[in-house]
Amino acid sequence: MLRAIIVLAVIIVALVRGGSLLNLVALRVRAIPLVLAGFAIQLLIFTPFTGKALVPIATAPLYMLSMGLLVIWVVLNRQLPGILLIGAGVVMNTLAIAANGGLMPVDPDAAAYAGRLAGYDDAAIDNNSLASAEGVRLWLLTDIFPVPAGIPFANVFSLGDILLTTGIAVLCYQSIRARPTGEAVDVPGSPDAGQANRSAPAPSARLPEPTRTSVVDRN
């Protein structure tokens, strides 16, 4: 939730600075069904209404499948602003999850600092995360960055989460603030100021042609 609030704040800033949501709507995004399918799979195995997976037997393979779909989507949309940060975040999280049996390890001390440790069950599992500091692989890519419990929606995040959120914020801000193609900007005092007005040729003023007088030879 905290990450969504950050992105929403960035969108508001972009709008205040003269951007338009129409620019975001008009953004050319490829393979949208891949993203929808990835999120649908995660919603199937990790519902926000319960702390347990709906499909406990195939949770890890399905989770990796959903992350794989997101990676493919990033590759297909590599032309978008902020996509490199988004891609790096998705890949980092995917590697951490794959290296730890299909769950994202969370540092117990960090979870306690964020006030989230009580949300884990007897098996130290909460949805797609595992509160454990033993045998963790790729520790630097796991959830080790806590937000203090006093801050609303405090949680523990990974380096991939930080890059992913930053990339989405960049994507939204630059897309909303983008100027429509072909729109000219007239900056006062610049050498190109008024160039659009000067580019059109002015109507030429034609002088009246001299009247030709015929001379008759009377001789």
Decide which of 3 and 51 is more confident: 3
Q: Does residue 214 lie in a domain region?
A: no
Q: Cα(166)–Cα(163) distance, rounded to whole angstroms?
A: 5
Q: Does residue 117 lie in a domain region?
A: yes
Q: Does residue 109 lie in a domain region?
A: yes
Q: Is the pLDDT of residue 200 over 50?
A: no
Q: Cα(127)–Cα(60) distance, rounded to whole angstroms?
A: 11
Beta bridge partners of 146: 156
Q: Does residue 192 lie in a domain region?
A: no
Strand arrangement, sheet containing 125-126: 104-106, 129-131, 125-126
Decide which of 201 and 103 is more confident: 103
Q: Using only C-alpha atoms, what is the Rg of the chain?
A: 30
Number of Cβ within 10 Å of residue 104's Cβ equals 20
Q: Is 49 exposed, middle or buried (0-12, 13-18, 19+ CB in 10 A)?
A: exposed
Residue percentage of the chain with pLDDT more than 90 = 55
Q: Does residue 195 lie in a domain region?
A: no
Report the number of distinct structural domains present in the chain.
1
Q: Does residue 215 lie in a domain region?
A: no
pLDDT at 136: 94
Domain hosting 35: range is: 2-177
Provide the whole-model pTM: 0.75
Q: Does residue 88 lie in a domain region?
A: yes
Q: Does residue 70 lie in a domain region?
A: yes
pLDDT in tens, 142-180: 999 999 999 999 999 999 999 999 999 999 999 999 875
Residue percentage of the chain with pLDDT more than 70 = 75
